[in-house]
Chain A
Amino acid sequence: DSGVTQTPKHLITATGQRVTLRCSPRSGDLSVYWYQQSLDQGLQFLIQYYNGEERAKGNILERFSAQQFPDLHSELNLSSLELGDSALYFCASSGGGEYSYNSPLHFGNGTRLTVT
């Protein structure tokens, strides 16, 4: 058990809809990362938060947004969903400070999103 909790585990929704994925990081970890895993794109970095503030954006679509709350949990909002958004979405957290590069990311079990 990584200590990172993601809900829900599975999500099936229709095109055009909006969903929210939730993540609770490991106790004490201030950094939260969101990744998308699909067969054709592999593991793609979406966005990072540190202690409530956005730190970096990767290949995140404008239809997607995220935030990290004061209690450090994070939510990823996906709107106007398309078939191509079907993927496994991971949240990960890490400790070691804001500028640490030598701490591993610990991943949640992911949310499998299916858009029909």
Chain B
Amino acid sequence: AQKITQTQPGMFVQEKEAVTLDCTYDTSDPSYGLFWYKQPSSGEMIFLIYQGSYDQQNATEGRYSLNFQKARKSANLVISASQLGDSAMYFCAMREGSGGSNYKLTFGKGTLLTVNP
């Protein structure tokens, strides 16, 4: 079974608008971390934001926020006031705390975001 599911292969948003990128995860481990990464066309992987399974509040980092709904096992990324430079592939990822997966980061297939002027 897929541990990380990103159901939107591609998304379009107008500049200055907000956009939500969906991510659902599957784990039986009570301790885990959820991460979002951005990969521009140049190829590098840029860490954006982290949410821990025990965190009571949704994580925020500048224009990025994470809509964490634990019961639904979802961790959607919200980008506010989109900019042209936000056009990139976005990956949701998870690390599980039990060590069964040896703490590796498991990635979803990604969502390609295009910001239109």
Q: Which residues in chain A, 80-116, are within 8 Å of chain B measured between CB atoms?
A: 88, 90, 92, 99-110, 112
Q: Are B95 and A42 in contact (CB under 8 A)?
A: no
Q: Are A55 and B95 in contact (CB under 8 A)?
A: no
Known A88-B43, A110-B43; judge A102-B107 contact (CB<8 A).
no
Residues from chain A with a CB closer than 8 A to the CB of B96 are 101
A99 to B100 CA separation, bound complex (whole angstroms): 11
A48 contacts the other chain (Cβ, under 8 Å)?
A: yes
Residues from chain B with a CB closer than 8 A to the CB of A92 are 45, 105
B-binding residues in A (CB < 8 A): 2, 31, 33, 42-43, 45, 48, 55-56, 58, 88, 90, 92, 99-110, 112
Q: Which residues in chain B, 81-117, are within 8 Å of chain A measured between CB atoms?
A: 91, 95-97, 99, 101-107, 109-110
Q: Contacts A2-B44, A43-B91, A48-B104 given; 12 further ones with Cβ under 8 A?
A: A42-B107, A45-B104, A45-B105, A48-B103, A92-B105, A101-B96, A102-B33, A102-B50, A106-B47, A108-B44, A109-B44, A110-B44
Q: Interface size of B by Cβ–Cβ distance < 8 Å?
A: 26
Q: Are A101 and B45 in contact (CB under 8 A)?
A: no
Q: Which residues in chain B, 10-60, are within 8 Å of chain A measured between CB atoms?
A: 31-33, 35, 37, 43-47, 50, 52
A108 to B32 CA separation, bound complex (whole angstroms): 23
Residues from chain A with a CB closer than 8 A to the CB of B37 are 107
A103 to B97 CA separation, bound complex (whole angstroms): 11
A-binding residues in B (CB < 8 A): 31-33, 35, 37, 43-47, 50, 52, 91, 95-97, 99, 101-107, 109-110
Q: Are A101 and B106 in contact (CB under 8 A)?
A: no
Residues from chain A with a CB closer than 8 A to the CB of B31 are 101
A109 closest partner in B (C-beta): B44
Residues from chain B with a CB closer than 8 A to the CB of A103 are 33
Residues from chain A with a CB closer than 8 A to the CB of B35 are 104-105
